[in-house]
Structure 1
Amino acid sequence: MCGRFSLTASPEEVRELFALLEIEDFPARYNIAPTQPILAIVAADSAEPGSNRPDRKAVLLRWGFMPGWVKDPADFPLLINARAETAISKASFRAAMRHRRILIPASGFYEWHRPPKGSGEKSQAYWVKPKNGKIVAFAGLMETWSSADGSEVDTGAILTVDASPSFRAIHDRMPVVIAPEDFTRWLDCKTQEPREVLDLMRSPQDDLFEVIPVSDRVNKVANTGPDIQDRIHPVAGEPEPPRPKKTARQGRADDGQMDLF
């Protein structure tokens, strides 16, 4: 699961990694929450022969996927993640998997280790960042939702997969990470059908991320400063990282989460 993430890289770093011709300026964001705008990289229209027009562009989406067939968003759950194993067949994501695959730049993400109820242990938040300090690209899906009055909202979700072995002590799911050499194939929805990119939806390399215990200030969407990524000593009874538990966490609610519509 991925319920919060961060993008603190500069626009120039994002432009260079994704080979964009241009990108609008944006501020560093340390605590990106569901329903907020997120930056996404999509395939642009094919360039004309001899043109220097890029085949990728950056767009803004609302984090919270809304299938086009939904009539009333109030009656539909907020889909911030999609399970990679079932996205091809699930009605909510089937069309997007075939036609609207995206990349979501991130400097890392947050996860919470939540012990079983009655254990006496407290939850612990973690900042999970690439060990090399660079940007990663989460695999995502995009859908444009249209209201009855004709207004449109571009929405998106992050694909998740089984956690890598060293991360399972904290959570059993984590985002799918697409390597730079696979950007083109993932974004190519014209010639690459969903079954042909299944191999890209795998657990990240076990040594890709560094896990840092942080304070519970990240729980509040109002806390948006870099201090929420400061390392702390884990709460009493929690090693760093915590030992695997036999009881897997099945879900959590984000404090202070805003509404999508």
Structure 2
Amino acid sequence: MCGRFAITLPPDAMAQLFEARPDNDLPDVPNYNVCPTDPVHVIRAEDGARRLVAMRWGLVPRWYKAPNDGPPLFNARAETVAEKPAFREAARARRCLIPASGFYEWTKDETGARLPWYIRAKDGAPLAFAGLWQDWTRDGESLRSCTIVTCAAAGEITAIHHRMPVIVARADWAKWLGEAGHGAATLMRPAPEGSLVLHRVGSAVNSNRAAGPDLIAPNSA
């Protein structure tokens, strides 16, 4: 799964990297502790162009009576997105990219205490998570939300967790966004072995209220 991540890239740099036109109401950055239900940066294709927009992290299906009518669907399993009613239409027609600088996962020590880890690209480049998005409208209220697609972990990630976000390589962005024909399903796989690095960080990030660059600083304790 992917339940927390960090984004430090300024919006203008994101727009340039993804060749997208930025909206004006984008979330503040840097944010070292992005949590489910927070607004996040999303790249989607629209009328032959890319846009950098804000969406709620935690997909809200159309049949929810309110955004909190069910659990926040912040992850979608790659193995079942084509079948699950909440995701299957979006998997065909509403795919997006969600930029991140890195993400967190947790292990437990012998006492059951949660030990956080920070994972990022080995070369320091931003990550692009595979995402799906959805419009929700009810009684005059509307919301645009998204979810991060996950797959079975591979390589170095297996030492700490059995799942990981699908990370789309730059060469495949157009295919995932639907700009370059079919075959997006083939991209729902783990990142190449050796492309990610990870280190232990302090327990402060266990709180969804924690903030600041110290959250991603190495901590061997």
TM-score relative to the length of structure 1: 0.79
- The match for 1:129 is 120
1:180 aligns with 2:180: no
- SS of the equivalent of 2:117 reads strand
User: Is the aligned partner of 1:20 residue 2:24?
Assistant: no
Quote the Cα distance in structure 1 between the aligned partners of 2:122 and 2:2. 18
Q: Is the 8 A contact 1:7 1:108 kept in 2?
A: yes
Counterpart in the other structure of 2:191? 204
Aligned to 1:84: 78
What is the letter of the counterpart of residue 37 of structure 2?
Answer: T
**2:87 aligned to 85, 93, 105, which one?**
93
Q: Which amino acid aligns with 2:41?
A: L
The answer as to whether partners of 2:21 and 2:52 remain within 8 angstroms in 1 is no
CA contact (8 A) 1:87 1:97 kept: yes
Instruction: State the AA in 2 paired with 1:62.
Output: R
Q: 8 Å contact 2:156–2:196 — kept in the other structure?
A: no
- Asked which structure has the greater CA Rg, the reply is 1
Cα distance, 1:143 vs structure 2: 0.5
Deviation of the 1:98 alpha carbon: 1.1
How far off is 1:165 after superposition?
2.5
Mean Cα deviation higher: 223-232 or 19-28: 19-28
Q: Report if the CA contact (8 A) 1:98-1:189 is conserved.
A: no
Question: Which amino acid is 1:130 matched to?
Answer: A
Distance in 2, matches of 1:75 and 1:44, equals: 29
Indicate the percent of aligned positions where both proteins have the same amino acid. Answer: 39
Equivalent residue, structure 2, for 1:145? 136
- Quote the residue 1:214 is aligned against: 201
Could you tell me which residue of structure 2 aligns to residue 110 of structure 1? 104
How far apart, CA to CA, are the structure 2 residues paired with 1:207 and 1:12? 29
Aligned pairs for 1:20-99 within 5 A: 20-22=20-22, 24=24, 26-46=28-48, 55-99=49-93
- CA distance, structure 1, for counterparts of residue 91 and residue 179 of structure 2: 8
Deviations 1:109-168 (A, max 9, x none): 0110136xxx43532100111111111100001001112x22100011000001112211
Deviations 1:199-241 (CA, angstroms, capped at 9, x unpaired): 100011121211010111011122110011111114xxxxxxx
- Check the 8 A contact 1:142/1:155 in 2, yes or no: yes
Give how far 1:11 is off: 2.3
Query: Which structure is higher in strand share?
Result: 2
Deviations 1:61-82 (A, max 9, x none): 1011111122244442211100
Unaligned runs of 5+ in 2: none
**2:3 match:** 3
Aligned-residue CA RMSD (Å): 1.8
Q: Name the counterpart of 2:157.
A: 167
Matched AA of 1:96: A
